[in-house]
Amino acid sequence: MKKTVLSVVLAGTLLALPEVTDAALGDQTLREGMRHSDVVELQEALREKGHFTFHTSTGFFGSITADAVRSFQRSAGITVDGIVGPQTVGALGAGSSTSKVQTSSQNSSSASDFSRTLRVGDRGNDVVSLQEALREKGHFTFHTSTGYYGSITADAVRSFQRSAGISVDGIAGPQTFGALRGSGGNAQTSSRTTSISSGQASSSRSYDVEKLIRDARNLLGTPYVWGGTTPSGMDSSGFITYVFRQNGVSLPRTHSQYYPLGTTVQTPQRGDVVFFETYKAGPSHAGIYLGDGTFIHNSSSQGVTITRMDNSYWSPRYIGAKRY
Q: What 3 state SS string does the chain have?
A: CCCCCCEEEECCEEEECCCCCCCCCCCCCECCCCECHHHHHHHHHHHHCCCCCCCCCCCECCHHHHHHHHHHHHHHCCCCCCCECHHHHHHHCCCCCCCCCCCHHHCCCCHHHCCCCECCCCECHHHHHHHHHHHHCCCCCCCCCCCECCHHHHHHHHHHHHHHCCCCCCCECHHHHHHHHCCCCCCCCHHHHHHHHHHHHHCCCCCCHHHHHHHHHCCCCCCECCCCEECCEECHHHHHHHHHHHCCCCCCCCHHHHCCCCEEECCCCCCCEEEECCCCCCCCEEEEEEECCEEEEEECCCEEEEEECCCCCCHHHEEEEEEC
Which range, of 80-94, 122-136, 199-213, 221-235, averages the lowest pLDDT?
199-213
Q: Exposure of 211 by Cβ count < 10 A (0-12 exposed, 13-18 middle, 19+ buried)?
A: middle
The arithmetic mean of pLDDT across residues 27-55, rounded, is 82
Neighbouring-strand partners of residue 14: 9
pLDDT-derived band at 184, boundaries 50, 70, 90: very low
- CATH class (in words) of the domain with range 104-188: mainly alpha
In CATH, what class is 7-92? Answer: mainly alpha
pLDDT at 103: 36
Q: In which band, very low, low, confident or very high, does the pLDDT at 29 lie, cut at 50, 70 and 90?
A: confident
pLDDT over 60 at 202, yes or no: no
Instruction: Tell me the pLDDT tens digit for each residue of 233-247.
Output: 999 999 999 999 999
What CA–CA distance (Å, rounded) separates 67 from 53?
11
User: 6-15, 140-149, 237-246, 292-301: which has the minimum mean pLDDT?
Assistant: 6-15
Please tell me which of 11-20, 57-66, 184-193, 298-307 the model is most confident about, judged by mean pLDDT.
Answer: 298-307
Alpha-carbon separation of residue 119 from 6, 66, 70, 169 (angstroms):
28, 28, 29, 10
- Segments making up each domain of the chain, as ranges: 7-92, 104-188, 203-323
Same fold? 104-188, 203-323 = no
Residue 45's pLDDT band (cuts 50, 70, 90) = confident
The architecture CATH gives domain 203-323:
Alpha-Beta Complex (3.90)
Nearest to 274 by CA among 306, 303, 233: 306
Given a cut of 50, whether residue 67 has pLDDT beyond it is: yes
d(CA 87, CA 270): 40
Buried b (16+ CB within 10 A) or exposed e, 246-256: ebebebeebbe
Question: In the prediction, which pLDDT does 145 show?
Answer: 76
pLDDT tens, residue by residue, 281-310? 789 999 999 999 999 999 988 999 999 999
Residue of higher predicted confidence among 133 and 6: 133
pLDDT band at 150 (very low <50, low <70, confident <90, very high): confident
Q: In this model, does residue 126 exceed pLDDT 70? A: yes
Residue 124: what pLDDT?
Answer: 80
Alpha-carbon distance of 202 to 244, in angstroms, equals: 14
Residue 114 — pLDDT band, cuts 50, 70, 90? low
Cβ atoms of 166 and 179 closer than 8 Å: yes
Across 49-53, 126-130, 228-232, which has the greatest mean pLDDT?
228-232
Would you say residue 135 has pLDDT above 90? no
Q: Work out the mean pLDDT of the chain and round it to a whole number.
A: 77
* Contact in structure between 128 and 102 (CB atoms under 8 Å): yes
SS (H, E, C) 173-194: CHHHHHHHHCCCCCCCCHHHHH
Q: What percent of the chain has pLDDT over 70?
A: 77
Considering only residues 3 and 216, tell me which one the structure prediction assigns the higher pLDDT.
216
pLDDT at 98 over 80: no
Could you give the CA distance from residue 262 to residue 160 in angstroms, rounded to a whole number? 30
**109 pLDDT above the threshold of 70:** no
Amino acid, single-letter form, for residue 24: A
pLDDT at 160: 86
